[in-house]
Structure 1
């Protein structure tokens, strides 16, 4: 949100610098993210002066150039070569002196230098409109009608607006500060200065105009609706001061009527809307909802289908405007408009929020309405708009102000105790200061006692409805920086120690994966309901549905990171980026017996080739071991050892494994089934792992501990086992590590055989065992004893036959 310092000075006498104002606002909760300088004419006409052409002759060596001498108020006239066809002796002109920088309407800025043009010295430049950036005409130089002395800075003839603009990162709760008036209210409290607000102008009917009546059918969605007819106005460009105000806020001036509505919106925080009164059928405005799928064309010339839930401003022929969000093309103000009906209303934030979300429209008006505007502002803002219409558009009031407000919004009444103020702030605040602060914020203090008081809060402060909110108001004006930290800090809660920094843990793991050539993905938590309905993998009954969904493709919260990741893979593969290693940290959601549950997951994807084709070796596709080894190494870095492993032959995999950590499921890993790939339109194999990041964070033991390399040698022994095909390698490895005890350092498999030379339904594993004692050299007796334990365990626990 942009706030003009010049405009703030209309409300409050600021002697502080913009930087000081920014610091004060930031300390009070309105964070100033930057301060920009605005100059209505780029460069501010620095180095541009009024001159007088003393002589003008044809250039001796160029048919289209003139050689002039110009009095620019210096000791000697300046010789300037000019190419304009209309230059002549005796003219008053604008001259860019040597060293001045010009900012033309089109093109890049350039600096005037002393130069020779076709052999003649030129000491400046006589300027056209577009060369100075003040217009678009390039038909010739500007010829002035002024008596100002030669050498007078051009800025004394052509006013230049200088302004400082604050960029405020407005938080959603501070709807009251979404205007210059709102920011000025905070400055009033912070600086202890008076606020100057224009008085209500007197509204009198001045001329006949169209007769407009108003009917509100949805009073809950539109508690207050005000309007007035202004006729005999002329739509034209706005005066320079209004254009400069809007440009400073990065808004494009349109015409005087529309510009006035934008001015009031940013100045007072009250959105207005102007209808061409002659286009309102039967002179009747109706505030109501229209049936679902009603077609409506908005100002951007797009046809939209209504949801049936948004509030509409209508006439008997149909919709004219989506209330509080966007106008319709059929009733807007045009250059031919002479009479308008100006609307100023207070709409329910909920109905505006839902309508804006449904249509994907975010406007300056909806931004304010959906956060909550001041229900007491519509008529005051309307009167200020009428005053401007009279001044700059020649408008004449043609009706009384219509104000439908059957159930006025009440002030908030909040009981506050001084003890609670002091406890939550952590410092004793004098009750007199508390009252002064609150009253400076237009919060009335009544029913005072030694214990506390009642605070009366006006309804424009939608964020101040509880005692804690009142205390926050006191603290932010008193100053967070004035609350000193105690020498003895304590806490009101117990925590597990040592506390793990989960953000650092995630960052560390991201670095590990990135170092292995993985790319990180960030995908939308919203996904298609069809994934759960058609995959056979997810339960549609557990979907967390979005009530105000923007589209069916974003209708539910995801239950897994699989499909959002597959969409990313599909996009890359369709663009011939087929070799992919990627990961994502994300949250998954589903319904639970009592409400909803969510959890963090880590997803890892492999697709395409592990190594590309070269003259040394052919391309090699990713396989299961590539992904499994990545997961295993990654977990080892965190001090986590994978527990039991079991086969998965159901969705979402063609085949895969379920990994356990004690009695809890750590994750799944495998080759994604073709059915899943088709749903996401992926046309090549994908290996996928999804791990429970919450469980990993809980079990991670931090940095891996290292020890000195043993000075005693390592010994390798091999065994060949024949086992049932149903027995997986992890089961064998688990048996080995348990039986081998402290001497068995690691187990490896270097060959797997299935074929005619062994019994059907069987397979052979060739395993390597690495034995080492950290304190002694291993003897043959100790080695043979350990191997015997391993053989016996394999025979008893997995039914292995030892091949000799």
Structure 2
């Protein structure tokens, strides 16, 4: 949310600079994310002053140039060569001093320098309006009528003091602060200064020539509806002061009537809407819902189908506006508009939120209505806007204010005990100060006793509904920094934290993968139900379905990170990024037996080539083994040294493995089933690994197990084993380690061969075995006995033929 510093000063006197105001707001809970200097004229006319032409005569060597002396308040007149035809002695003019940077209305900025023009010295420039960015005229220099002394900054004469745009990261609960008035309320409390409201005393109904019949059929969705009419208006460009206010907070001016509604919205936090009164059929304004699938064209020219719950502002023959969200194309204010119906209402937050999400429309009005506006503000805002419209567009107020408010919304009544205030804040705050803080926040004190009081909270404070909320209001204005730490607080009283920190481990794994060419992604937790239907048999439970989905494509919570990764791949491949390595930490969700379950997962995804093609090497496609190597690096970092394997689920993978620790899956990896890549229109192979992050963290231990490096050499022996194709290397490795536990250090396959000479269904593995004794050097007798035991086990248990 954007706030103008100068605009704030209309509500409260501020001697503090913008940076100090930002610190005060952040301390109260309105976190200031940035402060930006805003200049209505680029450069702010720095180095440009008011001067007086003392003398003026023609240049002896140029008919169109004049030699002038100009007093700029320094005591020494400047010699300036001027080419304007209208320059003359005695004029008050705008002078750019040497060193000033000018930003003309067209063209690039330029710096004023000392120069010689046709042999005459020139120590500045007398300016036309286009040369300093104040207009487009270049007919001559600007001639001023002013009593300001020479040397006065031109910015002061033109009232061009800079403004500051304060960006506030507004949290959803602080709907009351979504305006300049709302921010000023907090400053009023924390600075203990009075608040000045804009005056509406001049409001007066001139005639009742344009009275309309207003009706509200759905008072639950619209508890309060106000309106009046104005006629005799001239719709045109807004005056400079109004445009500058809107531009300072990042809004684009449209016309004087619409700009006033936007101005009051950001000033008071009350959205307004102006309708062209000539387009209101039957002189009726009806607030109601319409049948589902009724078509309606909004201001952006889009035809939309309404839902049966959309609250609409209608005339006698059809809809004009989606209440609290967006106006209609037919009833909007245009240059041809001469009379308007001005609406100010309080709409139900739930109703506006539902409609806004259904149509995917987010506007300044819906932003405020769906969080909760002030139900007591509509009449005041209506008067404020009517007076401003008369000021900038002329016209007269042509009807009384109609205020439909059948069931007034009462203040929140909250009992508060001082005992709980002291307990939650941690110190005893003077009772008078507590009352002052609350009353400065418009929270009235009632039924005060020595034990406590009753707080009467205005309904615009939708976030203050409990005793704890009232206490929070006291603390944020009193200041958290003003609550001292206890003298008895010591580090020895703090709980011991667990050694394993999942966040640190996640950071470590992220660093590991980033150094190996992977990029981290963060994707949406909501996904398409069609993805889950494609792998239904491989999912752990039912889908978690959203009650108010933004769209069909985002209507369930994901049960796997796979499709998030595939969509990321497609996005990049469509932009000609074909060699991809990504990883993601993210949560997945499912429902089982009525209970909602949330798990943390971690995924790796590869596609394309290992390395970019170059003159030194051809591009080589990634393989399953590249993925397996990355998985192994992760497992090594997490100190997972031993695991069992089994074939991966064919629902997800065309082929692959699942690693198990203590018979529980810890990671599954392999080539993604082409049926799944086809779902996202992905045409190249993708390798994917899915980790159970919580299980992986449980396996991690900060205790390092080590043993002394052996002083005795290793011995390598190789075997060539002819086996059935169904026998895997994992079986060979497992059997070898079961047979020889003392001396065997490593088993590795370094060649695989298949051919007709081996026989049908046979495969030859060339396997190396590393043997080592930590206590002595191995001799041939021990080595031969060990290898004989291994060969016997392979022949007996795996049906191996040992090739010699």
The answer, yes or no, to whether TM exceeds 0.5 is yes
Structure-to-structure mapping, 1:568-583, within 5 angstroms:
568-583=568-583
* Equivalent position of 2:328 in the other structure: 328
* Equivalent position of 1:60 in the other structure: 61
* Equivalent position of 1:442 in the other structure: 442
> Given the superposition, is the C-alpha separation of residues 423 and 722 from structure 1 closer, same or farther in structure 2, using an over 3 Å criterion?
farther
Q: Using the TM superposition, give the Cα deviation of residue 91 of structure 1 relative to its aligned residue in structure 2, in angstroms.
A: 5.5
* Equivalent position of 1:343 in the other structure: 343
Structure-to-structure mapping, 1:720-799, within 5 angstroms:
720-791=720-791, 793-794=793-794, 798-799=798-799
* Equivalent position of 1:488 in the other structure: 489
Counterparts of 2:417 and 2:148, CA distance in 1: 67
Q: Using the TM superposition, give the Cα deviation of residue 533 of structure 1 relative to its aligned residue in structure 2, in angstroms.
A: 3.0
Deviating more after overlay: 69-78 vs 8-17: 69-78
Q: Using the TM superposition, give the Cα deviation of residue 244 of structure 1 relative to its aligned residue in structure 2, in angstroms.
A: 2.8
Q: Using the TM superposition, give the Cα deviation of residue 287 of structure 1 relative to its aligned residue in structure 2, in angstroms.
A: 1.5
Q: Using the TM superposition, give the Cα deviation of residue 377 of structure 1 relative to its aligned residue in structure 2, in angstroms.
A: 1.0
Query: Are 2:721 and 2:800, in contact at CA under 8 Å, matched by a contact in 1?
Result: yes
Counterparts of 1:578 and 1:141, CA distance in 2: 61
Kindly indicate whether residue 486 of structure 2 is the aligned counterpart of residue 506 of structure 1.
Answer: no
Q: Deviations over 1:485-541 (max 9, x none)?
A: 33435899988x534222221121111112112222233223232222345665698
SS of the aligned residue for 2:10 comes to helix
Kindly indicate whether residue 340 of structure 2 is the aligned counterpart of residue 301 of structure 1.
Answer: no
Structure-to-structure mapping, 1:358-507, within 5 angstroms:
358-486=358-486, 487-488=488-489, 498-507=498-507
Counterparts of 1:574 and 1:262, CA distance in 2: 41
* Equivalent position of 1:709 in the other structure: 709
Query: Are 1:716 and 1:770, in contact at CA under 8 Å, matched by a contact in 2?
Result: yes
Q: Using the TM superposition, give the Cα deviation of residue 774 of structure 1 relative to its aligned residue in structure 2, in angstroms.
A: 2.8
> Given the superposition, is the C-alpha separation of residues 539 and 309 from structure 1 closer, same or farther in structure 2, using an over 3 Å criterion?
farther
Counterparts of 2:517 and 2:162, CA distance in 1: 52
> Given the superposition, is the C-alpha separation of residues 526 and 226 from structure 1 closer, same or farther in structure 2, using an over 3 Å criterion?
same
Q: Deviations over 1:382-417 (max 9, x none)?
A: 122223233333332211111111122222222333
> Given the superposition, is the C-alpha separation of residues 381 and 490 from structure 1 closer, same or farther in structure 2, using an over 3 Å criterion?
farther
TM-score (norm 2): 0.92
* Equivalent position of 2:68 in the other structure: 69
Equivalent pairs, count? 801
Q: Deviations over 1:163-199 (max 9, x none)?
A: 3443222111111111122122222221222333345
Q: Using the TM superposition, give the Cα deviation of residue 779 of structure 1 relative to its aligned residue in structure 2, in angstroms.
A: 3.8
> Given the superposition, is the C-alpha separation of residues 374 and 642 from structure 1 closer, same or farther in structure 2, using an over 3 Å criterion?
farther
- After superposition, the CA RMSD in angstroms is 3.0
* Equivalent position of 2:606 in the other structure: 606
Counterparts of 1:413 and 1:694, CA distance in 2: 46
Counterparts of 2:121 and 2:55, CA distance in 1: 16
> Given the superposition, is the C-alpha separation of residues 277 and 614 from structure 1 closer, same or farther in structure 2, using an over 3 Å criterion?
closer
> Given the superposition, is the C-alpha separation of residues 533 and 799 from structure 1 closer, same or farther in structure 2, using an over 3 Å criterion?
same
* Equivalent position of 1:251 in the other structure: 251
Counterparts of 1:3 and 1:722, CA distance in 2: 78
Q: Using the TM superposition, give the Cα deviation of residue 636 of structure 1 relative to its aligned residue in structure 2, in angstroms.
A: 0.8
Q: Deviations over 1:430-485 (max 9, x none)?
A: 44433332222222233344444332211111111122212211221221112233
Q: Using the TM superposition, give the Cα deviation of residue 786 of structure 1 relative to its aligned residue in structure 2, in angstroms.
A: 4.1
Query: Are 1:532 and 1:538, in contact at CA under 8 Å, matched by a contact in 2?
Result: no
Counterparts of 1:194 and 1:265, CA distance in 2: 22
Counterparts of 2:86 and 2:205, CA distance in 1: 50
Counterparts of 1:729 and 1:387, CA distance in 2: 86
Query: Are 1:50 and 1:153, in contact at CA under 8 Å, matched by a contact in 2?
Result: no
Counterparts of 2:582 and 2:703, CA distance in 1: 24
Kindly indicate whether residue 249 of structure 2 is the aligned counterpart of residue 266 of structure 1.
Answer: no
* Equivalent position of 2:50 in the other structure: 49
* Equivalent position of 2:627 in the other structure: 627
SS of the aligned residue for 2:740 comes to helix
Q: Using the TM superposition, give the Cα deviation of residue 226 of structure 1 relative to its aligned residue in structure 2, in angstroms.
A: 0.8
Query: Are 2:725 and 2:762, in contact at CA under 8 Å, matched by a contact in 1?
Result: yes
* Equivalent position of 1:525 in the other structure: 525
Query: Are 1:51 and 1:151, in contact at CA under 8 Å, matched by a contact in 2?
Result: no
Q: Using the TM superposition, give the Cα deviation of residue 796 of structure 1 relative to its aligned residue in structure 2, in angstroms.
A: 5.7
Q: Deviations over 1:545-564 (max 9, x none)?
A: 33333333333322222222
* Equivalent position of 1:116 in the other structure: 116
Counterparts of 1:275 and 1:767, CA distance in 2: 84
* Equivalent position of 1:566 in the other structure: 566
Q: Using the TM superposition, give the Cα deviation of residue 717 of structure 1 relative to its aligned residue in structure 2, in angstroms.
A: 2.4
SS of the aligned residue for 1:746 comes to strand
Query: Are 2:234 and 2:337, in contact at CA under 8 Å, matched by a contact in 1?
Result: yes
Query: Are 1:209 and 1:339, in contact at CA under 8 Å, matched by a contact in 2?
Result: no
Q: Using the TM superposition, give the Cα deviation of residue 58 of structure 1 relative to its aligned residue in structure 2, in angstroms.
A: 6.9
SS of the aligned residue for 1:204 comes to coil
Counterparts of 1:83 and 1:548, CA distance in 2: 68
Q: Deviations over 1:5-53 (max 9, x none)?
A: 3333333333333333222221121112233333333333342324448
Query: Are 2:66 and 2:82, in contact at CA under 8 Å, matched by a contact in 1?
Result: yes
Counterparts of 1:737 and 1:119, CA distance in 2: 99
> Given the superposition, is the C-alpha separation of residues 772 and 471 from structure 1 closer, same or farther in structure 2, using an over 3 Å criterion?
farther
* Equivalent position of 2:685 in the other structure: 685
Counterparts of 1:329 and 1:85, CA distance in 2: 50
Q: Using the TM superposition, give the Cα deviation of residue 429 of structure 1 relative to its aligned residue in structure 2, in angstroms.
A: 3.3
SS of the aligned residue for 1:716 comes to strand
* Equivalent position of 1:216 in the other structure: 216
Deviating more after overlay: 335-344 vs 36-45: 36-45
Deviating more after overlay: 793-802 vs 273-282: 793-802
TM-score (norm 1): 0.92
> Given the superposition, is the C-alpha separation of residues 473 and 709 from structure 1 closer, same or farther in structure 2, using an over 3 Å criterion?
same
Query: Are 2:185 and 2:195, in contact at CA under 8 Å, matched by a contact in 1?
Result: yes
Query: Are 1:80 and 1:121, in contact at CA under 8 Å, matched by a contact in 2?
Result: yes
> Given the superposition, is the C-alpha separation of residues 228 and 574 from structure 1 closer, same or farther in structure 2, using an over 3 Å criterion?
closer
SS of the aligned residue for 2:416 comes to strand
SS of the aligned residue for 1:136 comes to coil
* Equivalent position of 1:666 in the other structure: 666
Counterparts of 1:695 and 1:219, CA distance in 2: 53
Structure-to-structure mapping, 1:189-228, within 5 angstroms:
189-198=189-198, 201=201, 203-228=203-228
Query: Are 1:56 and 1:87, in contact at CA under 8 Å, matched by a contact in 2?
Result: no
Counterparts of 2:614 and 2:31, CA distance in 1: 56
Q: Using the TM superposition, give the Cα deviation of residue 270 of structure 1 relative to its aligned residue in structure 2, in angstroms.
A: 0.9
* Equivalent position of 1:20 in the other structure: 20
Counterparts of 1:259 and 1:609, CA distance in 2: 56
Q: Unmatched 5+ residue regions in structure 1?
A: none
Query: Are 2:99 and 2:112, in contact at CA under 8 Å, matched by a contact in 1?
Result: yes
SS of the aligned residue for 1:367 comes to helix
> Given the superposition, is the C-alpha separation of residues 611 and 73 from structure 1 closer, same or farther in structure 2, using an over 3 Å criterion?
closer
Q: Using the TM superposition, give the Cα deviation of residue 677 of structure 1 relative to its aligned residue in structure 2, in angstroms.
A: 1.9
* Equivalent position of 1:356 in the other structure: 356
Counterparts of 1:56 and 1:322, CA distance in 2: 67
> Given the superposition, is the C-alpha separation of residues 703 and 491 from structure 1 closer, same or farther in structure 2, using an over 3 Å criterion?
closer
Deviating more after overlay: 510-519 vs 84-93: 84-93
> Given the superposition, is the C-alpha separation of residues 44 and 465 from structure 1 closer, same or farther in structure 2, using an over 3 Å criterion?
same
Q: Using the TM superposition, give the Cα deviation of residue 620 of structure 1 relative to its aligned residue in structure 2, in angstroms.
A: 2.9
Counterparts of 1:403 and 1:29, CA distance in 2: 35
Q: Using the TM superposition, give the Cα deviation of residue 703 of structure 1 relative to its aligned residue in structure 2, in angstroms.
A: 7.8
* Equivalent position of 1:236 in the other structure: 236
Counterparts of 2:273 and 2:795, CA distance in 1: 85
Counterparts of 1:455 and 1:113, CA distance in 2: 66
Q: Using the TM superposition, give the Cα deviation of residue 639 of structure 1 relative to its aligned residue in structure 2, in angstroms.
A: 0.3
Counterparts of 1:499 and 1:638, CA distance in 2: 14
Query: Are 1:644 and 1:731, in contact at CA under 8 Å, matched by a contact in 2?
Result: no
SS of the aligned residue for 1:609 comes to coil
> Given the superposition, is the C-alpha separation of residues 800 and 449 from structure 1 closer, same or farther in structure 2, using an over 3 Å criterion?
farther
Counterparts of 2:60 and 2:739, CA distance in 1: 105
Counterparts of 2:313 and 2:10, CA distance in 1: 34
Structure-to-structure mapping, 1:61-210, within 5 angstroms:
61=62, 65-73=64-72, 78-84=78-84, 92-145=92-145, 153-155=153-155, 157-198=157-198, 201=201, 203-210=203-210
Q: Deviations over 1:592-635 (max 9, x none)?
A: 22242222222212222225556766543222222112111221
